């Protein structure tokens, strides 16, 4: 037998992947992504392009827009940061301990997902307004939550909590209790166990949760506009500014602000994803 | 470090996991805790480690009662069934962990730690893999890293929870022999948990057989295998035929047979006769024995396994014979044979003759599932 026969046979029976329908599903995925994500986003850029580079820059660099963008991104980052710390704590408690009412609290975590954002906004405003349940005690201390940037941060924290808890929780569940026991048996104290064993284990999931929380908070509109008070230059968020411009029939201006938000979000997410890949690669190097 | 365990009780909810356990372990011994799932062997190991705390009882290391001391102050090396390596650390960092977390003057210098890591890597035969991550290692290598990590703190006692449970058969055999050599070289007092009787008998100086939270027997491998103290130990360490009989005037008679065998038992009465399959032989028709009919013949290498039904009761018995045995060689199903015991164990007749082992709720389940089943 020559070696030619097997080669030609191999060519005739082209090896097919065991996973079926690659061509079809890839085509569908591309079409779907284009239809749902890319084309609308491209529309934003096209519309704003009608202003020209200078026009866009003029809109985006105006003090009111800059202040709104700063507030939107700043509050979203702070809110996501707060949740990265306390959401992780909540997830850890849910995974490691049994306590009465645990199921109730566990379910309550998801409420910010399900609640119409306007309802959340009204509830938060009622709480933190100067005459509200919590606000009346904060007001004499000189802390103004409602109708201030602080209120924006509170709303961002509220709506983005589930993202951190729900991404970190399964990873903690999977991380065996044995890891903590192993660390303790080797002489590590609680603090060393947390900082050297638990946190590094959940870090990739934590970054994912932070990203999702940030993305959700930066685009949030409904709950914030109730509590923020929407004072231009102080507590006015970028999505609201877009709505205002739309109501003034300044479509190109609105899309210019939107495009600025898109680019900024994209850059931030790119950085966070880079961080993510870096932490993942450290443990999965082959 | 010698270990004394006195009157340990431990219950999970209402289930008594340990029910009055007493045990003395000599310095430098290699001890196996052997038993089925739910027998309390893992709980006992974790109690010695300080990962569980007993409801009552004392544990002392070298004469010092440490029952209330937490795990991080006990100086025990614990090796988990599923390794529990820190995945985000290299092999070297894993091994150095116990030294790196030490505070102040107790912590060796960087160079000393590095040197210790390399000594341990040599010891567990993983030199050169120090920069790898656990995900890049095979199961056997991971378990050896876990062992090196436990040895790094120079533990008073080394505790291993089903150390080979997650490995395949070939690796398991190699590691077993290797662990024995390592123990002989280092001399750490070592306790390991296993449900595999072969592993316990092959590896340990002494075997502690556990059942239902109690110790059934402690002895070297010959004692527990050849002189089982209880029906449970007889049944758990290898297979066994259990036949009804009666002792009268130091003579044993099988039910349905007129032949008698000498018995050391002084007490007369109804008994269960425990005979291992390889302690049965086929004898001539004229010799004392029990008549049976062959139902199944299996040949496995040098072994011939014969199943037979007793002529009197129809009860099934198992024989394991050498392929050199001329009387066994040519047997076919349907043949009539005469069977006689070489040695046997006698226990007073139990109501249900089969010794009751706990039902395996989650047989050989990973530790976390067992944990759940227990809670």
From the CA of B71, how many Å to the nearest CA of chain A? Answer: 5
Are residues A143 and A252 both part of a single domain?
yes
Are residues A190 and A118 both part of a single domain?
yes
DSSP state of B278: G
Domains identified in chain A, total number: 2
From the CA of B185, how many Å to the nearest CA of chain A? Answer: 22
φ and ψ at residue B272, rounded to 5 degrees: -100, 130
The reported pTM is 0.76
Which structural domains are found in chain B, ordered by start? 3-234 (3.40.50.300), 240-348 (2.40.50.140)
| CB-based contact A176 B102, cutoff 8 Å | no
Nearest Cα residue to B33 out of B8, B57, B14: B8
Among B72, B84, B86, whose Cβ lies nearest the Cβ of A189? B72
CA atoms within 13 A on the CB side of B124: 25
Q: Kindly give the residue spans of alpha helices, DSSP state H, lying in B204-325.
A: 221-226, 231-236
Are residues A150 and A226 both part of a single domain?
yes
Are residues A43 and A60 both part of a single domain?
no
From the CA of A2, how many Å to the nearest CA of chain B? Answer: 39
Task: Determine the structural domain holding residue A250 and report its residue range.
Answer: 54-284
What is the interface pTM, i.e. ipTM, of the complex?
0.78
Q: In this model, does residue B337 exceed pLDDT 80?
A: yes
Are residues A46 and A176 both part of a single domain?
no
Q: Which residue of B has its CA nearest to A181?
A: B51
DSSP B325-355: -HHHHT--TT-EEEEEESS-EEEEPPSSSS-
On whether any CB of chain B is under 8 Å from the CB of A177, the answer is yes
Q: Determine the average pLDDT of the residues in A142-158.
A: 89
Q: Kindly give the residue spans of alpha helices, DSSP state H, lying in A175-198.
A: 177-185, 190-193
| CB-based contact A189 B84, cutoff 8 Å | no
Are residues A160 and A199 both part of a single domain?
yes
| CB-based contact A182 B76, cutoff 8 Å | no
Sheet holding B56-61, edge to edge: B15-25, B3-12, B56-61, B64-65
Are residues A30 and A155 both part of a single domain?
no
Among A185, A201, A285, whose Cβ lies nearest the Cβ of B76? A185
| CB-based contact A200 B86, cutoff 8 Å | yes
* % of chain B residues with pLDDT over 70: 94
pLDDT grade for B369, boundaries at 50, 70 and 90: very low
Q: Determine the average pLDDT of the residues in A20-43.
A: 86
CA dihedral A182, A187, A190, A194 (to 10 degrees): -50
Nearest Cα residue to A73 out of A266, A230, A207: A266
Q: Determine the average pLDDT of the residues in A145-156.
A: 89
From the CA of B162, how many Å to the nearest CA of chain A? Answer: 14
Q: In this model, does residue B320 exceed pLDDT 70?
A: yes
Please tell me the least confidently modeled range out of B85-94, B320-329, B354-363: B354-363
Q: Which residue of A has its CA nearest to B50?
A: A185
Using alpha carbons only, how large is chain A's radius of gyration in Å? 25
Nearest Cα residue to B29 out of B160, B143, B214, B157: B157
On whether any CB of chain B is under 8 Å from the CB of A276, the answer is no
* % of chain B residues with pLDDT over 90: 51
| CB-based contact B149 A183, cutoff 8 Å | no
Q: Determine the average pLDDT of the residues in B332-350.
A: 89
Sheet holding B241-248, edge to edge: B260-262, B251-254, B241-248, B269-275, B345-348
CA distances, A187 to each of A259, B8, B103, B327 (Å): 54, 25, 10, 63
On whether any CB of chain B is under 8 Å from the CB of A197, the answer is yes
φ and ψ at residue A46, rounded to 5 degrees: -60, -45
Please calculate the CA angle A184-A189-A195 and round it to the nearest 5 degrees. Answer: 100
Report the pLDDT value the prediction gives residue B366, as an integer from 0 to 100.
42
Are residues A81 and A26 both part of a single domain?
no
Are residues A30 and A148 both part of a single domain?
no
Q: Is A71 helix (H, G, I), strand (E, B) or coil?
A: helix
């Amino acid at each position: 037998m020559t070696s030619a026969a097997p080669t030609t046979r191999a060519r005739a029976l082209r090896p097919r992947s065991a996973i079926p329908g690659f061509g079809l599903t890839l085509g569908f995925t591309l079409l779907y992504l284009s239809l749902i994500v890319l084309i609308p986003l491209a529309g934003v850029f096209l519309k704003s392009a009608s202003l020209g580079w200078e026009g866009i820059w003029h809109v985006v660099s105006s003090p009111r827009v800059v202040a709104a963008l700063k507030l939107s991104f700043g509050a979203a980052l702070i809110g996501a940061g707060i949740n990265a710390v306390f959401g992780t704590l909540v997830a850890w408690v849910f995974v490691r301990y049994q306590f009465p009412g645990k199921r109730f609290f566990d379910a309550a975590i998801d409420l910010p997902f399900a609640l119409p954002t306007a309802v959340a906004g009204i509830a938060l405003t009622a709480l933190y307004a100067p005459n509200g349940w919590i606000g009346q005690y904060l007001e004499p201390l000189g802390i103004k939550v409602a109708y201030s940037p602080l209120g924006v941060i509170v709303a961002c924290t509220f709506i983005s909590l589930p993202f951190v808890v729900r991404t970190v929780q399964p990873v903690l569940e999977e991380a065996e209790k044995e890891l903590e026991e192993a660390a303790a048996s080797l002489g590590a104290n609680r603090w060393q166990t947390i900082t050297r064993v638990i946190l590094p284990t959940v870090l990739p999931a934590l970054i994912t949760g932070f990203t999702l929380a940030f993305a959700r908070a930066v685009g949030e509109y409904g709950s914030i506009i109730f509590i923020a008070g929407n004072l231009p230059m102080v507590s006015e968020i970028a999505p609201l500014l877009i709505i205002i411009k739309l109501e003034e029939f300044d479509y190109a201006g609105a899309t210019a602000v939107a495009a600025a938000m898109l680019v900024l979000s994209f850059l931030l997410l790119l950085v966070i994803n880079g961080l993510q890949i870096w932490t993942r690669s450290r443990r999965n190097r082959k | 470090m010698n270990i004394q365990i006195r009157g340990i009780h431990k219950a999970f909810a209402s289930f008594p996991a340990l029910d009055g356990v007493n045990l003395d372990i000599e310095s430098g011994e290699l001890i196996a805790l052997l038993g089925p799932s739910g027998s309390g062997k893992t709980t006992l190991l974790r109690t010695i480690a300080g990962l569980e705390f007993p409801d009552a009882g004392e544990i002392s290391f070298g004469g010092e009662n440490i029952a209330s001391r937490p795990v991080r102050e006990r100086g025990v090396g614990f090796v988990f069934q599923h390794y529990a390596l820190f995945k985000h650390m290299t092999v070297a960092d894993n091994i150095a962990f116990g030294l790196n977390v030490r505070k102040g003057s107790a912590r060796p210098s960087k160079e000393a730690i590095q040197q210790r890591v390399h000594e341990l890597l040599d010891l567990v035969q993983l030199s050169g893999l120090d920069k790898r991550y656990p995900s890049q290692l095979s199961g056997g290598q991971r378990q050896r890293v876990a062992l090196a990590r436990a040895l790094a703190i120079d533990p008073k006692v080394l505790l291993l929870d089903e150390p080979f449970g997650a490995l395949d058969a070939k690796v398991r055999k190699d590691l077993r022999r290797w662990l024995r050599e390592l123990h002989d070289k280092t001399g750490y007092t070592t306790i390991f948990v296993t449900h595999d009787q072969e592993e316990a008998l092959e590896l340990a100086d002494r075997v502690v057989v556990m059942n239902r939270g109690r110790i059934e027997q402690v002895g070297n491998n010959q004692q527990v295998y050849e002189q089982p103290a209880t029906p449970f130990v007889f049944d758990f360490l290898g297979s066994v035929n259990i036949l009804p009989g009666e002792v009268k005037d130091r003579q044993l008679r099988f039910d349905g047979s007129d032949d008698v065998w000498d018995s050391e038992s002084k007490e007369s009465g109804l008994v269960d006769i425990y005979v291992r399959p390889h302690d049965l032989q086929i004898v001539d028709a004229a010799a004392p024995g029990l008549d049976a009919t062959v139902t199944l013949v299996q040949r496995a290498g040098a072994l011939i396994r014969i199943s037979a039904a007793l002529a009197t009761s129809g009860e099934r018995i198992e024989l394991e014979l050498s392929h050199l045995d001329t009387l066994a060689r040519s047997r076919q199903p349907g043949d009539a044979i005469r069977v006689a015991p070489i040695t046997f164990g006698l226990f007073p007749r139990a109501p249900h003759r089969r010794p009751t082992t706990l039902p395996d709720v989650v047989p050989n389940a990973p530790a976390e599932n067992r944990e759940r089943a227990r809670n």
